[in-house]
Structure 1
């Protein structure tokens, strides 16, 4: 149902916009040729009317809105998209937490630099932010003022929660000072997504850019994080796209999943429960289990680039402490 791109590429981050300049000799600046006199009685033809900009969403956007409303209704009817964060019916032990951390934080769902090509599933290395995370909300031209306020507030509240959980500096800021950009875009804004991504990351991998350019309907939202160093694992820039056509709960779910994944929890596991990092869509929002994963990831003993073998004893010790050894 709700699937997203969970990948970390290793492009060097160059936050500089490219510009181009063209010159043209379409007409001289002045002329010595006098215009002919206008014949008497000649009627002036009215200037052609300028085409009017659409006053509302396109048919394609409206169809997507109806489609995602059906998706949310179907999931809720099945008892999915829970918002309770887990409870007595979803216990987890330290062993389960450590195992889920390895699959979600160390493995990757997609091959690096290959767009949506599935990865081999092998365990990789720790990926996380070292510098402060400065998040901005950007909106397509089609997104109304009321929706912008709602989404920005929703994002701000979630960032405050993530800051408390991780102990890492995470906050809202303006687009010009951000390093984590959350783009709320409708189908009518899709033409602006790839240029904005290229503006933020001029050397973005072509396969990654193509995903942004042609989002299939099955991808409800996505995030791509970029390292500050070639081949590195220290995140320096992230870009998330969330479809504006989503109903409220799916849109909030996308905020939770994409921002958390952009912090370094980049994979899914069918064994993770209670968790949003699971394809079954049982939970819509970050759970207590997922908070523990973030606490482990942002413990200073885990450094970007550490292998699974290096991280494993630290992860097991932290998992035991977070679950009282249960």
Structure 2
């Protein structure tokens, strides 16, 4: 998320959980009935056993770029010379020369290792001359500087309530941002050359969210500023299905920082050089058949999506906005990721009270995502929702089908939160089949990934409890407790 003169929500927005893994316990509540949920005994504190060690991914996500270089050139120009608002950028701006990344503030325990891994990928895959600075090796005056500051979420949201994390130009600290946040200094469009940029990330968030924010915001500090809903295999997309830098992203970053280009070039000047640059950067792209360009995304669709996902809107208003997004997608005759995302949002927002619409919407999203190679992670998010429906209905075999085909995609995309949720669902399905030992092993595996995906122990146990509550066995237990409480 880049922030201009007037901060506006962009990619790492608070509503990102709608494209993530937050699973509504309302499925279970609806199945058990409102009286059961109201009449049940008061919750009591439960002493949980120690969690297993946190699991973490190694290496890079298995998400190679599959598009022709001519397509990549179009995407590069739209990512590099437009802001998300549709405003055109007159020239290219980037860091010229070596770059140092410096961590500051209340740095979370996992952040240093994540930053080291990110910097390593940027050097090896994007060929950017970047290093991680520290006390022993501080930034040099000749280096460009990307300062990553961690601060309490509540403090950050006092000034930018819509954002989960963001990047701004020309400054290096939160104190500077407070002083200049409403001035033209924050306008990326006025930059000739990038020399400093600051990334702000909550310190009190999950390890996965720390990684996701580092990947997206540091990438935008060193590369394109725009996000395009028409792209499906990138962090440069507001749907947030892709959470770690993909093969496409590394091609974009390597191209953005290619020696043939420099700050101050116009769109036409860059366009003239792109074929040769991409031929060198991505030789495989010259052998791929070119597809037709996606049509422009109407601003009214973007506004509908932002309303559905943004803060300060009633549940009714969110659902209405989601329906508008679907209507616009249908009117545009879309069958791409934007159409799938529209149905997915409507499905998520319909879980509270309209399960028929939710289920139908997820089926429509699944059909779209599964019809496009390369949208496996999008389909995995939908399969998780469909698995939850199957589990709530006591359909163990169907639950396993949905979970088992989604788990590999979650692993490949390195989404621990989604992976943990799928493993929890799978464990409950195995319980229904009487395979208790297998269920316990799968659940234990999920707990390790959940520590990375969800963060605090309390949040891990809460997520597990949500999934367990979907099982018919849990629903029967709640109903029995409600009857007992009524005497």
TM > 0.5 fold call: yes
Q: TM-score, normalised by structure 2?
A: 0.41
Q: By how many angstroms is 1:314 displaced?
A: 1.1
Partner of 1:73: 21
Contact 2:126/2:251 (8 A) holds in 1: no
Give the Cα–Cα distance (whole angstroms) in 2 for the partners of residues 167 and 304 of structure 1.
17
1:248 and 2:228 equivalent?
A: no
Decide which of 189, 193, 200 is 1:234's aligned counterpart: 193
Decide which of 71, 83, 86 is 2:63's aligned counterpart: 86
Decide which of 159, 173, 179 is 2:133's aligned counterpart: 173
Q: By how many angstroms is 1:248 displaced?
A: 2.2
Partner of 2:165: 221
1:7–1:130 Cα change, 3 Å: farther
Deviations 1:265-320 (A, max 9, x none): 11101122311101111200000001000111111111101000000021132234
Contact 1:127/1:234 (8 A) holds in 2: yes
Give the Cα–Cα distance (whole angstroms) in 2 for the partners of residues 70 and 272 of structure 1.
18
Runs (5+) with no aligned partner, structure 1: 10-65, 76-82, 110-118, 194-211
Deviations 1:21-53 (A, max 9, x none): xxxxxxxxxxxxxxxxxxxxxxxxxxxxxxxxx
Query: Which runs of structure 2 are paired with 1:89-238 in the superposition (5 Å)?
Result: 91-109=66-84, 119-140=85-106, 147-148=108-109, 150-174=110-134, 177=139, 179-187=145-153, 190=155, 214-216=159-161, 218-226=162-170, 231-238=190-197
Q: By how many angstroms is 1:160 displaced?
A: 1.6
Give the Cα–Cα distance (whole angstroms) in 1 for the partners of residues 4 and 74 of structure 2.
20
Give the Cα–Cα distance (whole angstroms) in 2 for the partners of residues 102 and 128 of structure 1.
14
Contact 1:72/1:250 (8 A) holds in 2: no
Q: Which structure has the larger Rg over C-alpha atoms?
A: 1
CA RMSD of aligned residues (A): 3.4
Q: Secondary structure at the match of 1:234?
A: coil
Mean Cα deviation higher: 169-178 or 253-262? 169-178
Deviations 1:107-150 (A, max 9, x none): 223xxxxxxxxx4432532121113211111123xx6xxx33x1
User: Which has a greater percent of helix?
Assistant: 2
1:266 and 2:225 equivalent?
A: yes
1:7–1:285 Cα change, 3 Å: farther
Q: TM-score, normalised by structure 1?
A: 0.60
Partner of 2:364: none
Give the Cα–Cα distance (whole angstroms) in 1 for the partners of residues 15 and 83 of structure 2.
29
Give the Cα–Cα distance (whole angstroms) in 2 for the partners of residues 107 and 121 of structure 1.
6
Query: Which runs of structure 2 are paired with 1:300-319 in the superposition (5 Å)?
Result: 300-319=259-278
Q: By how many angstroms is 1:85 displaced?
A: 4.5
Runs (5+) with no aligned partner, structure 2: 7-13, 24-59, 172-184, 289-487
Give the Cα–Cα distance (whole angstroms) in 2 for the partners of residues 125 and 250 of structure 1.
32
Contact 2:150/2:200 (8 A) holds in 1: yes
Decide which of 236, 239, 256 is 1:280's aligned counterpart: 239
Partner of 2:385: none
Q: By how many angstroms is 1:226 displaced?
A: 2.5
Give the Cα–Cα distance (whole angstroms) in 2 for the partners of residues 281 and 310 of structure 1.
31
User: How many positions carry a matched residue from both structures?
Assistant: 222
